[in-house]
Chain A
């Protein structure tokens, strides 16, 4: 994502630190609905990433892309990476695949069916994986993400208190710092409407003035007078604190005709074959910045528990850092020796062009609506237990490079949500990485960190912020980070 402030200067990722006055900030986003459409914005971000932070020439790159990424977008991506950046090889896939990969291999440790819920900036996607493959018929998207929440909060604050419609950045921080998911909505409503000490929900939020206070914070009771004396602007947050995240669970509250997250998971489960349903409910993976709201996981669990039959086990897994979860998956994937066959090399690209990469990386192309093809694949898949088993992987493994068309199993669903998130995640994780990359990696990690400065800062308080920022940035930065980190991993581990 790009952030731009007053002058003719862009701030990319961590460069935001250099920005003095964050109040006039506005975003230049390369993405719309999770798809990269503004190449004039995207390209400089990549340039910055790959020129200054990490270098990807002659490396292998894993990149995330939204589900159903369009052909034209993929073509341009190919062109940029293969021809301009001269990477060695590339593999593109959906963030949910990575999350699933990470979950199956490093969390559960054995091969299971699971549902990945990715709640991102533009929307929330729910993708079930059965027997290692995406199950397209049950994949669902809810058009509510961090973006809507921030905009909604912005709107109600502007109406009820201060005019903040132009302060997306600040309000996003407010959202991350103060919002939470209510586990008992009616009760919280009652508390919020009471007066005096009985109201434990109401909080004062001190807005940043960018001189003394760089980032806003929730004011603890008792210290109010001092800050007031300094002339800070204060927001009173009452029911906003939980009605805003509530939109994820009840989009109908603002008239969006859609089911909420919990309901949607249930629907998705019931769209799957009957024998798999209890298994799916046992493995629900939450990822994406929205999951950082306090109480999110508990709420999902409580709602699911009440919706699903009581003899089904329900288990909701929220990774430590939901934002970087998919990135971790990518990191693990990169060091998996089997992944090599998934890549398309520069030579292959030069020989067969962009149409080829499009076919290889767009697994949804090969999914007939409700088909018979899946079963044989499943049996085959046992081989690469660790690797993404969303058809693509297995195909390649089994069939080598060229025969893709027929073989691709039907079911991969890519999520639209956003590659963005992943990329951000990627950046964060890079810090934590150990080992493999050596120098390169180290550099990368530090750099990526820098870029993600937003996130890092946020991470303290961040609930949502990440999601929103990330999304915006993510497409740009995240991707880049992602690439880079992967590159190193792969490079070191498996490719030399």
Chain B
């Protein structure tokens, strides 16, 4: 009995406030980085059917398509080249950068553009119009109370993970 009384007492406003978790700066940055990465994704998918074993009944389209003119001897499978390659793009970029530094030449990295001098504009994360307000919890923007409600119901903290 006494315990439950205790819990019911006190300001609800304060309790609400305590519940609200304020996302710190690092995780805000992390969220932002994740968002940029997702935007920059190449839409490349691993082939979901790669391990699918085709039954013989299904016609194999590849065979019909190809009319080979070259001798088979010269043909090498794509896997051969992939095996030979076997590097990730970031790895390549890194190697190139190091090499460029030693050679004193320009490289991919040197071409990256600088940050802008113009102040950033801010947009409502919900409707896309100019926004004036910031979500206290996660730092995203919204423009009206309506958008704020939508935001807290849906997106708030979504990328904070």
Contact A260-B116, Cβ < 8 Å, known A151-B39, A413-B106, A472-B43: yes
Contact A27-B104, Cβ < 8 Å, known A151-B38, A253-B123: no
In the complex, what distance in Å separates the CA atom of A147 from the CA atom of B110?
Answer: 22
In the complex, A173 has a CB within 8 A of chain B = no
A156 & B128 in contact (Cβ 8 Å cutoff): yes
In the complex, B16 has a CB within 8 A of chain A = no
CB within 8 A of B40: which of A68, A148, A366? A148
B65 & A32 in contact (Cβ 8 Å cutoff): no
**Complex interface: chain A residues within 8 A of B112 (CB):** 140-141, 143, 258
Besides A189-B130, A192-B129, A264-B113, 12 more A-B contacts (Cβ < 8 Å) are A8-B54, A27-B42, A40-B79, A51-B67, A57-B70, A72-B92, A137-B106, A160-B127, A253-B123, A258-B114, A258-B116, A259-B115
- Minimum CB–CB distance from B132 to chain A (whole Å) comes to 13
In the complex, what distance in Å separates the CA atom of A253 from the CA atom of B131?
Answer: 12
- Minimum CB–CB distance from B72 to chain A (whole Å) comes to 11
Residues of A within 8 A of B (CB): 4, 7-9, 26-29, 31-33, 35, 37-44, 47-48, 51-52, 55, 57, 67-68, 70, 72-73, 76, 79-80, 83-86, 122, 125, 136-137, 139-143, 147-148, 151-152, 155-156, 159-160, 168, 189, 192-193, 238-240, 243, 250-260, 263-264, 267, 364-369, 413, 416, 472
18 A-B Cβ contacts within 8 A?
A4-B47, A29-B42, A33-B89, A41-B78, A51-B67, A57-B70, A68-B96, A68-B108, A86-B70, A86-B74, A139-B111, A147-B42, A147-B43, A152-B39, A189-B130, A239-B129, A252-B116, A416-B111
B113 & A140 in contact (Cβ 8 Å cutoff): yes
Residues of B within 8 A of A (CB): 32, 35-36, 38-45, 47, 49, 52, 54, 61, 65-70, 74-79, 81-82, 84-85, 87-89, 92-93, 95-96, 103-108, 110-118, 120-121, 123, 126-130, 154-155
In the complex, what distance in Å separates the CA atom of A151 from the CA atom of B36?
Answer: 10
- Minimum CB–CB distance from A95 to chain B (whole Å) comes to 15
In the complex, what distance in Å separates the CA atom of A253 from the CA atom of B111?
Answer: 21
**Complex interface: chain A residues within 8 A of B110 (CB):** 136
- Minimum CB–CB distance from B111 to chain A (whole Å) comes to 4
CB within 8 A of B96: which of A70, A148, A238? A70
In the complex, what distance in Å separates the CA atom of A43 from the CA atom of B75?
Answer: 11
A365 & B105 in contact (Cβ 8 Å cutoff): yes
CB within 8 A of B49: which of A8, A73, A140? A8
**Complex interface: chain B residues within 8 A of A39 (CB):** 78, 81-82, 84-85
In the complex, what distance in Å separates the CA atom of A95 from the CA atom of B35?
Answer: 30
In the complex, what distance in Å separates the CA atom of A84 from the CA atom of B75?
Answer: 6
By Cβ-Cβ distance, the 10 closest A-B pairs, closest first, are A43-B78, A39-B81, A141-B111, A32-B89, A40-B78, A39-B82, A259-B116, A68-B108, A252-B120, A257-B115
**Complex interface: chain B residues within 8 A of A260 (CB):** 116
In the complex, what distance in Å separates the CA atom of A28 from the CA atom of B78?
Answer: 14
CB within 8 A of B105: which of A33, A52, A72, A367? A367
In the complex, what distance in Å separates the CA atom of A263 from the CA atom of B114?
Answer: 10
Instruction: Give the residue among A35, A47, A160 with the most B Cβ atoms within 10 A.
Output: A47
A243 & B111 in contact (Cβ 8 Å cutoff): no
**Complex interface: chain B residues within 8 A of A192 (CB):** 129
CB within 8 A of B128: which of A26, A68, A239? A239
A413 & B111 in contact (Cβ 8 Å cutoff): yes
CB within 8 A of B106: which of A32, A55, A151, A369? A369
Contact A51-B116, Cβ < 8 Å, known A68-B107, A148-B40: no
CB within 8 A of B92: which of A35, A253, A472? A35
**Complex interface: chain B residues within 8 A of A7 (CB):** 49
Contact A37-B61, Cβ < 8 Å, known A168-B43, A239-B129, A260-B116: no
B108 & A84 in contact (Cβ 8 Å cutoff): no
The chain B residue sitting closest to A192, CB to CB, is B129
In the complex, what distance in Å separates the CA atom of A155 from the CA atom of B90?
Answer: 25
The chain B residue sitting closest to A127, CB to CB, is B111
CB within 8 A of B43: which of A27, A33, A84? A27
B108 & A416 in contact (Cβ 8 Å cutoff): yes
Instruction: Give the residue among A7, A37, A147, A189 with the most B Cβ atoms within 10 A.
Output: A37
**Complex interface: chain B residues within 8 A of A43 (CB):** 77-78, 81
B123 & A243 in contact (Cβ 8 Å cutoff): yes
**Complex interface: chain B residues within 8 A of A86 (CB):** 70, 74
- Minimum CB–CB distance from A143 to chain B (whole Å) comes to 7
In the complex, what distance in Å separates the CA atom of A215 from the CA atom of B23?
Answer: 43
**Complex interface: chain B residues within 8 A of A251 (CB):** 116
CB within 8 A of B113: which of A37, A51, A258, A365? A258
